[in-house]
Structure 1
């Protein structure tokens, strides 16, 4: 197991010695911090060796890396967790069409598990793209690049049979001082507690990207008679549903959760096969 994290980094603010306000973050496995670096909980909870790719402008490089500030804070706040391999990728500001295409191409390469991003990197079995500090259109480019790379990878997988690698999108829902406190009730404010006591949730936005994959897969079936992408998504949904179904005491509930997915997957595959082999009965009865 190995994890690659691709994250954006901004300049931060001179109001804080650490450029960003130190707060605690709620990850999937617990609360981390306080820290000024929102990547710390993602690194701490990652499986296997971690590679961290930081995307930033020339100004970010001068502010965070020329002075070694970023690496110093990262070593300190990770505590006993192993230090990841770190690479800074300098990106343009995206002020022109050419610069925006350059950012897109860089992101496509960085979410490709078959392209090592640093010497000695273990091929990742999972990739996390953190858009918390994505500036202006950068989060949009990240989503577009992931969708493009996954589509391109599925085409390559058909030829090379290399294993798929899940890509997650993460966002730390930090709110500046004076706004509603993320984990302290709707009527609470940031002024109710010191910043280091604030707990910032990390949202998993991957499902919104999955909508594009489902739409593309359905389009492939309805317009071109291809069911492989849709069958793969349905099979993945079945696997995700099984742990939830297994915890259900009512066996009928298990069938309700898994049965429709399995039937739809088999019907779509049979329908697509019927189109290829011109089996008219299958075309009429399967869907």
Structure 2
């Protein structure tokens, strides 16, 4: 385990640091943390002034406690943009060099923006590297007028970076596997800790998000909107309602987005695909795909939604999805809105969908720019919405 600590310039006074029932009498919180965490390596980040003030004292204290000799890296004070980028690079190197399995940050004496940069580096590395060390963060609260000074584990806020990334992925793209995995892991940790009342609905919320995400990724329109009993969108909404209190208590990072998620999914559940409610649900699902910038899927849903308008009867979804019945729907759609109709909507939708799905490999579509396809798709969505309102 590598401890990365920031060295400041203060007049550090001796105290008895405490952490998880352990105690260490020292001037330096880094020495106490290295003792408590049994650090194998210690990297000290210090400005020139901090180095002059404390590098020797900290080195001697680590030696006294029979701890590893520190690697001391000079960092600029961060007075301009160039120095800030130098700080970023130095902190990044301190984390990644040597492929260490675990890194702990001591931000107690971070100067100016150094703790902020530590968080930025953690987030950057998690987003860009396939494998990163397990990371923790700690802060030592020196108490002037008390015999002991506690060290706080603030690693929760590193976990917040995981939540931020997973939530952004789900809300912006519909990819929820990472969020579901994180929710399951957090739930398992809470259950294992066994402190206070254990959550009972968080696992099912995570599972509903995973199922919805899988259906979104594979464009399972019936399963999203209806399903055998209720669709995965409806299931997510139900699980949100059931778990809201527990999310607020145990998963606070997830709570603020629940209302946003509810708003995104509210118009999608329906009892049948072949009903006014079902037609509107397919419009809302196509819009959701557009908001995710997933245009091929939006084109698929738009086409199937328009074909479904030409069902001879409402309801009876299993019967309506049989191949011969569906083929008859498509024939009626083409007859009504194909090449012999004024707007040739069926041909327009077919052209947009095929152009996207064939990746521009059709000769007549090869030079069709992406922004033109997106514009045409949005126009067709607007026309579908207008038709439903007519």
Counterpart among 13, 23, 26 of residue 15 in structure 2:
23
Counterpart in the other structure of 1:150: 126
Pairing partner for 2:67 from 63, 72, 83: 83
* Correspondence 1:92-111 to 2 at 5 A: 92-111=76-95
SS of residue in 2 equivalent to 1:39: helix
- Residue 70 of structure 1 is matched in structure 2 by 58
| Per-residue CA distance 1:134-154 (angstroms, 9 max, x = gap) | 01111111111112222223x
In 1: Cα distance, 2:193 partner to 2:50 partner: 44
SS of 1:201 mapped into structure 2: strand
Once residues 52 and 97 of structure 1 are traced to their aligned partners in structure 2, the CA distance between those partners, rounded to angstroms, is: 27
Instruction: Give the direction of change, closer, same or farther, for the CA distance of 1:40–1:141 in structure 2 (3 Å limit).
Output: same
Shift of 1:57: 1.2
More strand by share: 1
1:61 counterpart (51, 56, 59): 51
Among candidates 230, 236, 240, match of residue 185 of structure 2? 236
Distance change >3 Å, CA 29–CA 150, structure 1 → 2: farther
SS in 2 for 1:93: coil
- The total of aligned residue pairs comes to 228
Question: Pick from 156, 160, 165: which aligns with 1:207?
Answer: 156
The residue aligned with 1:126 is 102
Q: Specify the SS of the correspondent of 2:42.
A: strand
**1:283 and 2:224 equivalent?**
yes
Q: 1:105 to 1:283 in 2, by over 3 A?
A: farther
- Cα distance in 1 between the residues matched to 2:116 and 2:78: 12
Structure 1 residue runs without a partner (length 5+): 14-19, 117-122, 158-163, 178-189, 191-196
C-alpha contact 2:35 2:67 (8 A) present in aligned 1: no
How much does 1:212 deviate?
3.3
Q: Is 1:42 equivalent to 2:33 in the alignment?
A: yes
Q: 1:6 aligns with which of 4, 7, 21?
A: 4
Q: CA deviation at 1:209?
A: 3.3
After superposition, the C-alpha distances for 1:215-260 in whole angstroms (9 at most, x for unaligned) are 3211211211212321331132133123234x78xxxx6xx52x42
What CA deviation, in whole Å up to 9, does each residue of 1:177-215 have, x standing for no partner?
A: 4xxxxxxxxxxxx2xxxxxx6211111222233233213
Asked if the contact 2:175/2:217 (under 8 Å) is kept, the reply is no
Q: Is the 8 A contact 2:62 2:69 kept in 1?
A: no
SS, match of residue 11 in structure 1: coil
> Which one has more relative contact order, counting CA pairs under 8 Å at least 6 apart?
1
Separation in 2 of the partners of 1:222 and 1:70?
A: 46
* SS across alignment from 2:73: strand
TM-score of the pair, normalised by structure 1: 0.72
Name the SS for the 1:278 alignment partner.
coil
* Preserved contact between residue 50 and residue 85 of structure 1 (Cα < 8 Å): no
Query: Which has the greater radius of gyration?
Result: 2
Spell out, residue by residue over 1:4-47, the C-alpha distance to the aligned partner (whole angstroms, 9 max, x if none). Answer: 1110001233xxxxxx20101111242211x1110122212225
Q: Runs of 5+ in structure 2 lacking a partner?
A: 226-230, 237-390
Whether the 8 Å CA contact 1:237–1:261 is kept in 2: the answer is no
| Deviation of the 1:85 alpha carbon | 4.7
Contact 1:37 / 1:74 at 8 angstroms: preserved in 2?
A: no
SS of 1:89 mapped into structure 2: strand
**Structure with more helix by fraction:** 2
Contact 1:214/1:233 (<8 A) preserved: yes
